[in-house]
Structure 1
Amino acid sequence: MRREIWNAGRSHSTRTILSHAWRQTADSIRDLPYSVLWTFRRKDDQPMKQEGTIKKHRIYTTSFASVYPHYVTKAEKKGRTKSEVDSIICWLTGYDSEHLETQLEKQADFETFFAEAPRLNPSRDLIKGVVCGVRVEDIEEPTMREIRYLDKLVDELARGKAMEKILRKQ
């Protein structure tokens, strides 16, 4: 019985499998002890911890150069320019246009891109709002926060916000 539940767990939730499997032995799923309901895990459930370290989000290993054209396309669809996207990136990271091109050519991942940034703008802490349902100011992981800051700035650009407001100029 255990093997059937384990293999069937690939396509259905554990709770559904157990409710069907134990239906013959229990009058109701409520008659089963809680520990029995949650004993089995689906085969594809993997723990986030691997060898003592927390598994990193895949955006860290994604090449910045592979995402950059999407930033530009998003801005251009709304009537903004590539140079405005570049100025936002340079404002946030401290790169000049020459070093930004170098980072794009060497296919640096996001983690390296932000780690090698010459000088992160101190005014970036003024960036507030929600990206992907998460408030950027509440993100604890520093690199993820920087990535979300960049996403937020590009979103503001695409929405038609003035560059002075996007760059948090007083």
Structure 2
Amino acid sequence: MDKHRIFTTSVASVYPHYITKAEKKGRTKEDVDTIIQWLTGYDQKALQQIIDNRTDFETFFGEAPQLNPNVSKITGVICGYRVEEMEDGLMKKIRYLDKLVDELAKGKAMEKILRK
């Protein structure tokens, strides 16, 4: 079976869309970075290297220092699918990120987005 094309898409090609989505709703690039770092365990320097190197999503999540232990608290529908019911592990992680950026753009408080 072929890989979904998002798996081989670079994080750098999607990242500006996350920022634009957040900024349209009065949030910041720093908010997006905070969410990504919370989810993956990357620090700011490592995240910038991923963007600069055009790392794909498969590598990005495969080499993530540590997926946040609270990811199981991320629930709901994104792109027509319930995140908690997704079976493909990599797709689920990508959709977690999409869901967090969506919540940010919808004005949800950062502490709720980060499941504190």
Counterpart residue number, 1:135: 82
For 2:65 and 2:20, locate their aligned partners in 1 and report how far apart those are by CA, in whole Å: 26
For 2:2 and 2:50, locate their aligned partners in 1 and report how far apart those are by CA, in whole Å: 25
Are 1:153 and 2:100 counterparts? yes
Could you list the runs of 4 or more consecutive aligned residues of structure 1 that deviate by over 2 angstroms after TM superposition?
A: none
Q: How many residues align?
A: 116
Query: What is the percentage of aligned positions where both structures have the same residue?
Result: 68
Are 1:99 and 2:46 counterparts? yes
For 2:14 and 2:71, locate their aligned partners in 1 and report how far apart those are by CA, in whole Å: 21
For 2:93 and 2:79, locate their aligned partners in 1 and report how far apart those are by CA, in whole Å: 14
Are 1:58 and 2:5 counterparts? yes
Counterpart residue number, 1:35: none
Output the TM-score relative to the length of structure 2. 0.99
Question: Which fold has the larger relative contact order, with Cα–Cα distance below 8 Å and residues 6 or more apart in sequence?
Answer: 2
For 1:132 and 1:142, locate their aligned partners in 2 and report how far apart those are by CA, in whole Å: 16
The structure with the largest helix share of the pair is 2
Counterpart residue number, 1:78: 25
Output the TM-score relative to the length of structure 1. 0.68
For 2:37 and 2:76, locate their aligned partners in 1 and report how far apart those are by CA, in whole Å: 21
The one-letter code of the counterpart of 2:4 is: H
Unaligned runs of 5+ in 1: 1-53
Unaligned runs of 5+ in 2: none
For 2:96 and 2:19, locate their aligned partners in 1 and report how far apart those are by CA, in whole Å: 16
Counterpart residue number, 2:112: 165
For 2:72 and 2:11, locate their aligned partners in 1 and report how far apart those are by CA, in whole Å: 22
Are 1:113 and 2:33 counterparts? no
Q: Residue by residue, what CA displacement relative to the aligned partner does 1:18-60 show, whole Å, maximum 9, x if unpaired?
A: xxxxxxxxxxxxxxxxxxxxxxxxxxxxxxxxxxxx1111000
For 2:67 and 2:81, locate their aligned partners in 1 and report how far apart those are by CA, in whole Å: 22
